[in-house]
A and B are shown apart, each in its own frame.
Chain A
Amino acid sequence: MASRKRNQIRGIRVAGVRGAGVRGAASGGGDGGANGPSESRWTGRYIVMMREGATDTARTLQRTAGLQVAHTADFEGMVRSAGMGEGQAMVFDQINAALVDSDPERLAALEASESVESIEPERVVQAISTDPVPTDYVRGYRDAVNELVEKLVGGSSPTNSLRAVLPAAPGESLATWGLQATRTLTSRFTGAGIRVAVLDTGIELQHPDFQGRVLRSQSFITGEPAQDGNGHGTHCIGTVSGPLNPNKLPRYGVAPDVEIFAGKVLSNAGFGGDGSILAGIDWALRNKCAIISMSLGARVAVGTPHSPMFEAIAKRVLDAGTIIVAAAGNDSVRPGNISPVGHPANCPSIIAVAAIDSQQGIASFSNGALNGNGGEVNIAAPGVAVTSTWISPMLYRTISGTSMATPHVAGIAALLAEANPNVRGRALLALLTGGAKQLSGLPPRDVGAGLAQAPQ
């Protein structure tokens, strides 16, 4: 227990959390993640969970760490924690936990207490939407660039976007490098009859490449329709299911005949919660999707276990014959700093997907298998400079991430499902990983079984 708690505290420091006392105490290297924009996900305070049976949380906080303590009951009906200062704690009597604003010495004293089960940094749900680059600014920039392109090259077609005047990557005149590397172009299969759910920011419903397709969409974000206002979801859906003959070359879709189920579980700002994801998984299962693709996640610290709830649900989903593939995460800054596979890809029953580049090297940002018991990388796929669909008016875009690798794997799983009509669930996973191409010089820590390959 003591070493587990030490790991949690080390995880806090390594993650570079802006916390009282550890503010600025960023990682000194090693296995931790890179510091950076994700720091804004934390409030700087800590949630202290007391052990089952610990009877007096307030006394422990006062005597062990010298904290000033208030109880939630003292603040009934008020916004309780906003005014907390350093050296203060708010006790949640009903759940045997406390919110603490403290320096590292006091945290260390709490860590050593036998009454304390764990200490975790407090996340800010709203703050995760405080993207370092404001969305409005990006949209304004995009619109300005598009306008400039229109003036330079003329034309008013919506497909005459920035990409239209940029050369395709070398060797991508007909198909993306990702489709070539995964042997998708020579596959006899197209995903016909297979349902794939992509749980993300939704879909550009008016995209010309999706017209006439079997497509169902559903939003699980209150107040936002399934129409993608971000672009990320549209990009992922394009990689899974883009057409054989898109309006603009290169071809970019792995399984052009799958039935698309676009579940919006992330807002247009790109954020959601576990609950919306679970709702999306439930919807996909009810609609008998064979594959669920999730290019989403949350960063975890070294030593953080997977969510027992997500694992239990992923097992149920597998039992029902559906597989879940999820992005391993982009928190690494290789070669020096490798971050562990994030949530929920770190569940043993969810396939964690790493990203490789066109030279079949590991992407610098791709997370690795630092945590056991599900924290492994299972497979890799193209995730650097991936071209796919985007929201209007851009319509196409080339971006990078394990988010882009994940739909490659989902599409290939759909091809395998079509090729093997009686193979679903765990057996399909075995086919997927068993058919992967080993990548010389890259350890399983980084790429799992290797590069996903389409059935021929």
Chain B
Amino acid sequence: MPSLNVNVLIHADSRDDIERIVRQARGVGLDLGEAGILAAIGALRGSIDDKSLRRLRKIPGVQSVEIDRPVGIVGSSSSSKS
């Protein structure tokens, strides 16, 4: 099944409920890898197949889901910049 790397923001007022949200997220197919539960900032990171994305978004307490985007060293395009 093709999967997307995603980051999940948990509502500020649902952060105490993170264990329930994690259970439900896993239930809809979110694969939380190493360092997947980011309790200090109220977020999750993992991967999920694209067909389950909507179900993930609808879990009570989930504020938003963003597809992981690539980020790199700022300006690594030249040997004189870094």
Contact = CB atoms under 8 A, between A and B. Distances in A.
Contact of A317 (B33, B35, B41): B41
Contacts of B53: 94-95
Contacts of A320: 40
A343 B3 CA distance: 24
A359 to B, nearest CB: 17
Contacts of A270: 72-73, 76
Given A298-B70, A312-B9, A331 B82 contact: no
17 contacts: A37-B77, A37-B78, A72-B2, A95-B50, A235-B82, A271-B72, A275-B6, A278-B38, A278-B43, A282-B43, A307-B66, A309-B9, A313-B43, A317-B41, A330-B81, A365-B81, A400-B81
Taking residues whose C-beta sits less than 8 angstroms from the other chain, chain B's interface range is 35 or more
Contacts of A277: 71
Given A94-B53, A343-B69, A313 B9 contact: yes
Q: Which of A220, A286, A313 has the most CB of B within 10 A?
A: A313
A296 B72 CA distance: 5
Contact of B42 (A37, A296, A316): A316
Interface of A: 36-38, 41, 72, 77, 80, 92-95, 123-125, 128-129, 131-133, 138, 200-201, 220, 222, 230, 232, 235, 266, 270-275, 277-279, 281-283, 285-286, 295-298, 307-309, 312-313, 316-317, 320, 327, 329-331, 342-344, 365, 399-404
B18 to A, nearest CB: 12
A107 to B, nearest CB: 21
Q: Which of B5, B42, B68, B71 has the most CB of A within 10 A?
A: B71
Contacts of A308: 64, 66
B75 A402 contact: yes
A53 to B, nearest CB: 14
Contacts of A365: 75, 81
Given A316-B41, A399-B81, A401-B82, A279 B71 contact: no
A77 B6 CA distance: 20
Task: Identify the 7 closest CB pairs spanning chains A and B, nearest first.
Answer: A330-B75, A275-B45, A282-B38, A37-B77, A270-B73, A327-B74, A285-B40
Given A232-B82, A313-B9, A365-B81, A279 B45 contact: yes
A139 to B, nearest CB: 13
